[in-house]
Amino acid sequence: MKNYLLTLLVLAMMPALAQNEKDAEKLLESVINKTASYSNFKAQLAYTMVNAEMNIDEKKTGVIYVQGDSYRIEMEGQEIISDGKTVWTYLPDSKEVMVSEVLETEESFSPTKILTQYNDDYDARFDADSKYKNANLKVINLKASEGKNFDRISVTVNLEKLSLESFSMYDKDGNVFTYQIVLLEPNLNLSANTFVFNVKDYPGVDVVDMR
């Protein structure tokens, strides 16, 4: 009898779960489309990397510029610049820049690319346990399919503004990478060299070409 009632309960919940997933995907798609509509944007970021088992709690702040496949990240202790084909990782303290080719990986820094990629490869559902004073903030959990570096992604969006507020990525080693968008400014007049590392602008820099 108990098994019969449990089966009925599961069957009754299935339409609600399907609707939850459909609504979450629809909201995520709306956020993607709005963000992708910008010609470019600049975002102030607060970054944390936590691993409870290894007692790691790293915090940084910085800024990211995104234009199509190009991006520029200025974080404490490093700058990462890409024109969509090449990546320059500059370490000011050691005056060294590492040059590599762009790889299509899950560790993409662009929020637009992150959302676009995971919307296809992950199952999206609202997190009913997440509560905020601002009722417009909704948390969407993205559960990974097999073969992904991250088990799941947690995305916080503003329902009214259709904006990305933050996202957390959980990998298989217990690391949690969280990016909180403090301020986003779209459609800026960015200079042509924003997404290129010009060695002449960094006298004495040591170039390590890893291509």
Angle, nearest 10°, between helix axes 2-36 and 111-121?
150
CATH number at residue 179: 2.50.20.10
Cα dihedral sign, 18-22-28-32: positive
pLDDT in tens, 81-126: 999 889 999 999 999 999 998 876 544 444 446 655 555 566 778 8
Q: What gap in Å lies between CA 116 and CA 122, rounded to an integer? A: 10
Total domains in the chain come to 1
Q: What gap in Å lies between CA 139 and CA 206, rounded to an integer? A: 43
Task: With respect to residue 208, please indicate whether it lies within any of the assigned structural domains.
Answer: no
Task: With respect to residue 99, please indicate whether it lies within any of the assigned structural domains.
Answer: no
Residues of the domain holding 20? 2-74+104-191
Task: With respect to residue 196, please indicate whether it lies within any of the assigned structural domains.
Answer: no
Task: With respect to residue 148, please indicate whether it lies within any of the assigned structural domains.
Answer: yes
Q: Is 108 helix (H, G, I), strand (E, B) or coil?
A: coil
Task: With respect to residue 82, please indicate whether it lies within any of the assigned structural domains.
Answer: no
pLDDT in tens, 26-67: 888 888 888 888 999 999 989 999 999 999 999 999 999 988
Where would I find the beta strands (DSSP E) of 56-171?
A: 56-67, 70-75, 78-82, 86-91, 96-101, 122-126, 137-144, 150-158, 163-171
Task: With respect to residue 62, please indicate whether it lies within any of the assigned structural domains.
Answer: yes
Q: Give me the pLDDT at residue 49, please.
A: 92
Length of the chain: 211
Task: With respect to residue 36, please indicate whether it lies within any of the assigned structural domains.
Answer: yes
Kindly state the tokens that stand for 198.
């010009």
Q: Give me the pLDDT at residue 114, please.
A: 61
Task: With respect to residue 145, please indicate whether it lies within any of the assigned structural domains.
Answer: yes
Beta bridge partners of 6: none
Q: What gap in Å lies between CA 67 and CA 187, rounded to an integer? A: 9
What percent of the chain clears pLDDT 70, i.e. is strictly above it? Answer: 78
Q: Please state the separation of Cα 147 from the chain's center in Å.
A: 19
The CA–CA distances, whole Å, from 109 to 2, 113, 134, 177, 192 equal: 49, 8, 27, 12, 20
Is pLDDT above 60 for 176? yes
Give the DSSP letter of residue 40: -
Pair 42, 35: CB distance under 8 Å:
no
Give the count of alpha carbons within 13 A of 77, CB side only.
Answer: 4
